[in-house]
Chain A
Amino acid sequence: MVNMQMTGAQMVLQAFEDHQVDTIFGYPGGAVLPIYDELAKERDTNQPIRHYLVRHEQGASHSAEGYARSSGKVGVMLVTSGPGVTNAVTGLTDAMMDSIPIVCISGQVPTHLIGTDAFQECDAVGITRPCTKHNWLVKDINDLSRILHEAFYVASSGRPGPVLVDIPKDIQFQTGTYIGPETVKHKSYRPKLKANIDQIDDALKLIANAEKPIFYTGGGVINSGNAAVQLLREFVRLTGFPITSTLQGLGAYPGDDSQFIGMLGMHGTYEANMAMNECDLMINIGARFDDRITGKIDEFSPNSKKIHIDIDPSSINKIVKVDVPLIGDVAHVLEDSIKLWKSKVYKINKPSLKEWWKTIDKWKEKDSLKYVSDKNIIKPQHAIQRLYELTKDKDVFVTTEVGQHQMWAAQYYKFNKPNRWITSGGLGTMGFGLPAAIGAQVAHPDKLVIDIAGEASILMCIQEMSTAIQHKLPVKIFIINNQYMGMVRQWQELLHDKRYSHSYTDALPDFVKLAEAYGAKGIRVQKPNELDKAINEMIEYDGPVIFDCVVEQNENVFPMIPSGKAHNEMLLGDETEKEEISDEGKVLV
């Protein structure tokens, strides 16, 4: 395979083959026609690349994310120049924020037209520079294969992220030399995988001496792969410490395990946030002290020593100063940690740990996720709990849109395996869930894939229903329909004296008819006693379903750390007295 002559368009497909890419999401257009032509020619071969035609390039980017997140592979997308690229920007930014490996191939106007404001021209590398990990404009056919191999390497190594390769149309037609991936080595990019062993020992000494420790884990564990997940479970069980997780880390540690004390952060459990506040040792594994997690930064876990494992050196001390930074890949660091722990025969402080668990159990008694049920109207929390109970025996992949339903899903749906929970955390992209579910379904054709959605978010990428129908992808869209942009409404209630400015959606579509218009099945439920039967009907239907679950309109997500407050200043529910939120808090998002 080394050093073959072929056209640029053929090189793209050859690189896909060399990097084991069998699935891409895309949308054709003038500047990528040569590549689409190769896809057509290849259709009759033994193992053609499966191309999923989306209905909007944003859909392609989120589908690639859903595919990547649920499979651990690189997600690949193919878009045309100009609007094709600009439409992909939201998904690329989303992947950048949540560290998802994406390779985006974009067409560009021919090299001699670049810079002339040609039809469907845009400065693709300029526009995507801040929202990709790296990007390339290919100006010479003989650079193309090297750049494609580098693109896959950069996207998937170190802290993963999206990359973009912009290929002018004339380059796609030209013939040049294709070099195989085995001969290409990036000039300088070599992420550090193993942490310094002396620093690991420093961390273990802190762990052995801790009286009130807590593991705080994030998406980095899942990105590191299955080995990291298994090692995390081993290490947490070895120590007996409590563990909490960020939104992106859910599933790395089993959600129904007794050592797991729930998600932390703005809508995390009381016990998780209190434990973070009062711990004397915090072991951060693959999380980044995001502002949703820390609350008021000056009062964040004031009395703890902090260990931080992260593959990205720029995450260390970015927001919170840590005592022991361990720069490396989670799996490598945990493997070394467990080995050293055993060889040095370190022991944890058992009596203190027992006391610590007693304190945590006290906090648990608050039952911060409790809510008041109703016989006549479906509570959104109840809907998600029932969905969980009726699907938990299956290996389910759950995606979400963004807003209240997303937080309720994180709180009430429990994940026991990694890669099953796919949500837009960093960027908070409404419209993410449906295309992401499509990507997850493509990666796992026989599994149940559910997009837990809101009625506002789902409309942002609803056109992808058509993709699901065309490619026979039986995704289930479970809409928590309260007719409001619920999270916006909640903030307006808490921060703006209930002035609900433009957060109510009038003229919503009839979701049942909408489903039918696309050729899917529509189900509407309004009564709590009809819920279980309808959910089962949804699960059993062989094809896409839009499930319109009409819920209580004024329900809020609790617990909640209001803006500008610390972990120990949580609001637990509607009945708690509401303190005035300071002006300083109001400016935060």
Chain B
Amino acid sequence: MSEIVSKHTVSVLVDNEPGVLARVIGLISGRGYNIDSLTVAEVDAEKHISRITIVAPGTEQTVNKMISQLQRIVPVKRAANVTFENQGIEREMALVKIVSTGEKRVESMRLSDVFRARVIDTTHDSFVFELNGSPRKIDAFIDLMKPLGLSEVSRTGVVAIARGTEKM
């Protein structure tokens, strides 16, 4: 098994009941794992099922252990590693505020085009871009914007799903 520490994306399907998020997060912190990002939302309103997506650093072995621990939680229905390398698709949305004027402002506008970011708010001195894509793409965009007046970033955290016909 690989001993390399990398980011893993874990999807957890849970019964949407009070305290379920606290149970999942409490277990992860209580057993000494870290979390890079976390998203949660109800995905089945009739059956009251929520999907939690966790990005956590670790070796494949530690992440597998974390998954089997998660499966011990009574309201957890399923948990799986849906990392990109395991045939998963990962997406994230970011809102990026740029405060600048003159050439920098023009350049940020031009680059946003390359990344297919949309302008959703503007003043004479600022833009707010909306950007979708893989976490890596968003990281790259933010890096490019740093010298161009990057002021503030808000990210949703990763959501992920398996490719193809496979269902969790």
Contact surface of A with B, Cβ cutoff 8 Å = 125-126, 129-130, 133-134, 137, 139, 154, 186-189, 312-314, 316-318
CA distance A189 to B27 in the complex (A): 18
On chain B, the residues within 8 Å of A188 by CB distance are 15, 74-77
Cβ-defined contact, B23 with A314, below 8 A: no
Sample of 24 A–B contacts (CB below 8 Å): A129-B19, A129-B22, A129-B23, A129-B26, A130-B26, A130-B27, A133-B74, A134-B73, A134-B75, A137-B18, A139-B18, A186-B74, A187-B15, A188-B75, A188-B76, A188-B77, A189-B75, A313-B68, A313-B71, A314-B65, A314-B71, A314-B72, A317-B68, A318-B65
CA distance A186 to B65 in the complex (A): 25
CA distance A317 to B68 in the complex (A): 10
Cβ-defined contact, A317 with B18, below 8 A: no
CB distance from B64 to the nearest CB of A (A): 8
CB distance from B31 to the nearest CB of A (A): 10
CA distance A125 to B23 in the complex (A): 10
CB distance from B52 to the nearest CB of A (A): 14
On chain B, the residues within 8 Å of A154 by CB distance are 74
CB distance from B159 to the nearest CB of A (A): 22
CA distance A316 to B73 in the complex (A): 16
CA distance A125 to B64 in the complex (A): 28
On chain A, the residues within 8 Å of B27 by CB distance are 130
B30 within 8 A of A: yes
CA distance A381 to B26 in the complex (A): 43
On chain A, the residues within 8 Å of B23 by CB distance are 129
On chain B, the residues within 8 Å of A314 by CB distance are 65, 68-69, 71-72
Please tell me which one of the listed residues B22, B64, B69, B74 contacts residue A189 in the complex, with CB atoms under 8 A apart: B74
Closest residue of chain B to A189, judged by CB? B74
The 4 closest A-B pairs by CB, nearest first: A314-B68, A134-B74, A188-B77, A314-B72
Asked whether A317 and B65 contact (CB < 8 A) given A133-B74, A154-B74, A312-B72, the answer is yes
On chain A, the residues within 8 Å of B76 by CB distance are 188
Write out, one digit per residue, whether chain B residues 8-32 have a CB within 8 A of any chain A CB (1) or not (0). 0000000100110011001100100
On chain A, the residues within 8 Å of B69 by CB distance are 314
Closest residue of chain B to A313, judged by CB? B68
On chain A, the residues within 8 Å of B75 by CB distance are 134, 187-189
Write out, one digit per residue, whether chain B residues 58-89 have a CB within 8 A of any chain A CB (1) or not (0). 00000011001101111111000000000000
Please tell me which one of the listed residues B26, B30, B68, B77 contacts residue A318 in the complex, with CB atoms under 8 A apart: B68
Cβ-defined contact, B30 with A130, below 8 A: yes
CB distance from A63 to the nearest CB of B (A): 25
Apart from A187-B15, A188-B77, A314-B72, 11 more pairs, CB < 8 Å = A129-B19, A130-B30, A134-B73, A134-B74, A134-B75, A313-B68, A313-B71, A314-B69, A316-B68, A317-B64, A318-B68
CA distance A154 to B76 in the complex (A): 13
CA distance A297 to B74 in the complex (A): 30
On chain B, the residues within 8 Å of A317 by CB distance are 64-65, 68
Cβ-defined contact, B19 with A125, below 8 A: yes
CA distance A317 to B1 in the complex (A): 12
CA distance A125 to B19 in the complex (A): 9
On chain B, the residues within 8 Å of A133 by CB distance are 74
CA distance A23 to B22 in the complex (A): 33
CB distance from A409 to the nearest CB of B (A): 31
On chain A, the residues within 8 Å of B77 by CB distance are 188
Write out, one digit per residue, whether chain B residues 113-155 have a CB within 8 A of any chain A CB (1) or not (0). 0000000000000000000000000000000000000000000
CA distance A133 to B69 in the complex (A): 12
CB distance from A439 to the nearest CB of B (A): 25
On chain A, the residues within 8 Å of B73 by CB distance are 134
On chain B, the residues within 8 Å of A186 by CB distance are 74
Closest residue of chain B to A187, judged by CB? B15
On chain B, the residues within 8 Å of A126 by CB distance are 22
CB distance from A308 to the nearest CB of B (A): 13
On chain B, the residues within 8 Å of A189 by CB distance are 74-75
CB distance from A127 to the nearest CB of B (A): 11
Closest residue of chain A to B14, judged by CB? A188
On chain A, the residues within 8 Å of B65 by CB distance are 314, 317-318
CB distance from B25 to the nearest CB of A (A): 10
CB distance from A103 to the nearest CB of B (A): 14
On chain B, the residues within 8 Å of A125 by CB distance are 19
CB distance from A474 to the nearest CB of B (A): 39
On chain A, the residues within 8 Å of B15 by CB distance are 187-188
CA distance A189 to B22 in the complex (A): 18
CA distance A154 to B15 in the complex (A): 15
On chain A, the residues within 8 Å of B64 by CB distance are 317
CB distance from A501 to the nearest CB of B (A): 29
CA distance A188 to B68 in the complex (A): 16
CA distance A526 to B63 in the complex (A): 56
**Max count, chain B CB within 10 A of own CB: residue among A130, A316, A318:** A130
CA distance A316 to B64 in the complex (A): 11
On chain B, the residues within 8 Å of A129 by CB distance are 19, 22-23, 26
On chain B, the residues within 8 Å of A137 by CB distance are 18-19
On chain B, the residues within 8 Å of A139 by CB distance are 18
CA distance A137 to B17 in the complex (A): 11
CA distance A307 to B27 in the complex (A): 27
**Max count, chain B CB within 10 A of own CB: residue among A133, A137, A314, A317:** A314
